[in-house]
Structure 1
Amino acid sequence: MFMLKCMHCNQAGNNRGVNMYNIIPMHRTAAEEISIWDFGKGYEFYNIEEDPYVIETFLNGHYYIVYKNDEIFGFFCDGESARINETYPEDDDILDVGFALNPHWIGQKMGEQLLNIMFQYYHALYDVHIFRVTVASFNVRGIKLYERMGFYEVNTFYETIDNENIKFIVMCYNQSQD
């Protein structure tokens, strides 16, 4: 188990609270809970709707759950699990990642926190500085988050999913340039 302790302080430096984050490999109970998340109007594409294939995919060893205290805060994945298809090359210097924030926390600027937790986790395991994400072009919330975090567009492509041609944006973030 990987643990992070985050302290939130006000401008005077007083503690407002401590959040404990635990990161563990995805397990069936969490995958089933995540499979009923509803990401809201316009983001139905991301709803899993208890799809057994997706639940099994979550158990492939490349998905990790982030608990905030005792609640699933979000999850993230890496490698092939984070790629939509093979239109962009695998690169040993780049780690493909994907993530989802629990819909309970969406709209509260918590995406940055989840991304930073993910970055810390991978830095503890690998010597990686370049992260790559693939995001549907209609996912304005995600694109804005990635841009705020320093990601930049490197490619676009279209993929047909459920008989719909969807544009995806591939973005990279090079932490060694920070």
Structure 2
Amino acid sequence: MSPSIDPESIRVVPMTLEQAEDITAWRYQAPYDVYDMVGVGPDELLDPEAGLYSVMAGSTLIGFRSFGPDGQVPGWDYDASALDTGGGMRLELTGQGLGRAVVLAGLEFGRARFAPPAFRVTVASFNTRALRTVKYLGFERVGTFNATRGARNFHVFVRAEHRKGEDAPPRA
């Protein structure tokens, strides 16, 4: 875990133009460069239909979360049984143990804002850190496919949301 970031301070908030400009400039090393937002303008991130939000630790932008179609990868037959969610973290913070706290903050935000019956994530098969995180957080793999663009292999995971009175999934 990054010593300078308190996991309790992580929260999801509406994205500002300055944050969108910052995020669109992030560039990852291969093979994570598939997550670069090359050709995406900051205004596209701010479009409410995009469903993108900033992840903050105190007053510092550390990542983003998406809710809806942005979390979908062409090639899978998505349906309305779950809310798709995805996201990214600032390059220098990846691999430091913050993933669980960031995803949990996203799930808490998504639960409060959208009240979905389940969450769904689509993760590239090479992304071992993300795969480990979503499995730890109770997501179950429901399928694997090759994307229609780039032919990369992806796994689809779902985590059912439990309602009051039901057994809750384990928390990190």
TM-score by length of 1: 0.77
Per mean C-alpha deviation after superposition, the further-off stretch among 71-80 and 126-135 is 126-135
The structure-2 alpha-carbon separation of the partners of 1:20 and 1:127, relative to structure 1 and needing over 3 Å to count, comes to: same
- 1:53-81 deviations in Å (ceiling 9; x for gaps): 35343122110001111211211111112
Confirm or deny that 1:58 pairs with 2:49. no
* Residues matched between the structures, number: 157
Q: Distance in 1 between matches of 2:136 and 2:129?
A: 11
Per mean C-alpha deviation after superposition, the further-off stretch among 124-133 and 58-67 is 124-133
State the percentage of identical aligned residues: 25
The structure-2 alpha-carbon separation of the partners of 1:68 and 1:167, relative to structure 1 and needing over 3 Å to count, comes to: same
Residues 135 and 168 of structure 1 are in contact (CA less than 8 Å); yes or no, is this contact kept in structure 2? yes
Counterparts of 1:79-90 in structure 2 under 5 Å? 79-85=68-74, 87-90=76-79
Higher relative contact order at CA 8 Å, sep ≥6: structure 1 or structure 2? 2
CA-based RMSD of the aligned residues comes to 2.2
Identify unmatched segments of 5+ residues in structure 2: 1-5, 163-167
1:72 corresponds to: 61
Confirm or deny that 1:94 pairs with 2:82. yes
SS of equivalent residue, structure 1 residue 165:
coil
Q: CA deviation at 1:119?
A: 1.2
Code of the residue aligned with 1:39 in structure 2: it is Y
More strand by share: 1
Q: Distance in 2 between matches of 1:165 and 1:18?
A: 35
Identify unmatched segments of 5+ residues in structure 1: 1-16
Q: CA deviation at 1:86?
A: 6.5
2:29 corresponds to: 40
The structure-2 alpha-carbon separation of the partners of 1:54 and 1:167, relative to structure 1 and needing over 3 Å to count, comes to: farther
2:154 corresponds to: 168
Larger Rg: 1
TM-score by length of 2: 0.79
- 1:18-74 deviations in Å (ceiling 9; x for gaps): 85344322232211111222333431211224x2x3534312211000111121121
